[in-house]
Chain A
Amino acid sequence: MLCEHYKDALIEAAASGAAPQGELREHLAECFPCREAFMEEQSLFAGIDSGLQTAANSEVPPSLFSRVCVVLEQETSRQAGWFSDALVLATAAAIVLTIFGAHAIRRTKDGRERTNIAVKTVVPPTTPHLKQETIQSPDPSANSSPSTRSLITRSSAAVRRGDTLGALPQVLVPRDQDALLASYAEQWYGHKHAPLVATHVANATLEPLQVSPIQISQLDVKPLAGEGSQ
């Protein structure tokens, strides 16, 4: 029987650390070279285990704990510092937001008060009447002429403009100029909604506009006085 046959079994037995059993045990008893090889193999594994123990159980340097404690202390203070910094920043941000929020609310309130004044003065008294009239007509396009229809359409547009008056751009003016602006707005609005007034005279025929020619007097050209003109 070849000893090569026992090679793997021999290595397995040496690796497991257990005593050889059965056929291997009998072979080792009668084969000196295999017994010697088995002992050397056991010696190799013993050397490996010893080397592993040496590698794995190295002495821990006493400086490790002091180093780690210092690092942990730094980390703790860094974390605490970060937390307090974050707290301070959050507080500052909250204060700033509160100030800006309060300021914005106050501005909005002031703006509303001013707008209310402006709207009260700007809205012409004819608007509700027009709106009511437009709504009351069941079908304006059914029993009216084209001119009337266009007037009604424009009236509706005007009414819509009146509804969305609050969405118009707001102008902030000093308090002492409120009345002045209001009167100006009233004049402007009255002029702008002049066609609305025409809804009352829807059937009236419109005359072509007569414009008289511009009269320009004869120009009197005179030479400039002084020597520089020459």
Chain B
Amino acid sequence: MREAAQADARREFEERLAECGPLAFRVAHGVLHNTADAEDVAQEALLRAYKSFERLRDRNRFAGWLVRISFRLALDRLRSAKRRERRDALWSQPAHLPPPATAEDVAASNQFQGHLERALEELPDKLRLVLLLSAMDGYSIEEIAGMIGVPLGTVKSRIFIGRKKLAEKLRCYANTIRTR
């Protein structure tokens, strides 16, 4: 009887895995910017989700639940990696990258992507998660609101504030706003 219940839960979980596995990976990758690390985190998140899947009352909230687990695990890994980096930095010279000239050049370059990822890391977690989810293909703002369990207006304002904060951080590299 228990084995049958386990088999049912496993089947249901595998059905959701096809849909939500990429989501978990992408959330982790959005935080970590590293495929191998993101894969590890996604695997861990899915395993944790599987262990507690039978306890999840509302299965429709699975995606949001998995996103939160994955995001939290990715943040933990990023923070421990940063601690390790700081330790290593004591023994090496930090790299200084020269800022690109114009916004268009910057946007096109890989350096801009690096700056963007660093700026994204400095954002508050709430803003970062919403920005990542909104940038993902296939999820509307309404779906994101349902996924993370906040009102639609809150999601919209978080996206707006997040983008503005990113622009503030990246403007110094692009030097786009000139005042007379």
Stretch at the interface among B72-80, B83-91, B162-170: B162-170
In contact, A15 and B47 (Cβ under 8 angstroms): no
B157 CB to nearest A CB, Å: 12
B43 close to A79 (CB less than 8 A):
no
Total cross-chain contacts (CB, 8 A) = 146
> B96: CB under 8 A from chain A?
no
Q: Tell me, yes or no, whether B107 is within 8 Å of chain A by CB.
A: yes
CB distance from B128 to the nearest CB of A (A): 10
Asked if residues B17 and A65 are in contact (CB atoms below 8 Å), the reply is: yes
Least Cβ distance of B18 to chain A in Å?
8
Residues of B within 8 A of A3 (CB): 179-180
Interface of B is mostly: helix
Of A40, A44, A52, A60, which one neighbours B132 at CB under 8 angstroms?
A: A52
Q: Beyond A15-B167, A48-B170, is A53–B103 a contact (Cβ under 8 Å)?
A: no
B71 touches A (CB below 8 Å): no
How many chain A residues have a CB neighbour from B under 8 Å?
Answer: 44
Is B148 an interface residue, CB under 8 A from the partner?
A: no
- B80-131 with Cβ < 8 A to chain A: 102-104, 106-108, 112-113, 116-117, 120, 131
User: B177 near A55 (CB under 8 angstroms)?
Assistant: no
Check A46–B3 contact: CB distance below 8 A.
Answer: no
Is A83 touching B43 in the complex (CB atoms < 8 A)? no
Q: What's the least CB distance linking A141 to chain B, in Å?
A: 74
Which B residues are closer than 8 A to A by beta carbons? 2-3, 6, 10, 13-14, 17-18, 21-22, 25-26, 29-30, 33, 35, 38-39, 42-43, 46-47, 50-51, 102-104, 106-108, 112-113, 116-117, 120, 131-137, 160, 163-164, 166-167, 170-171, 174, 176-180
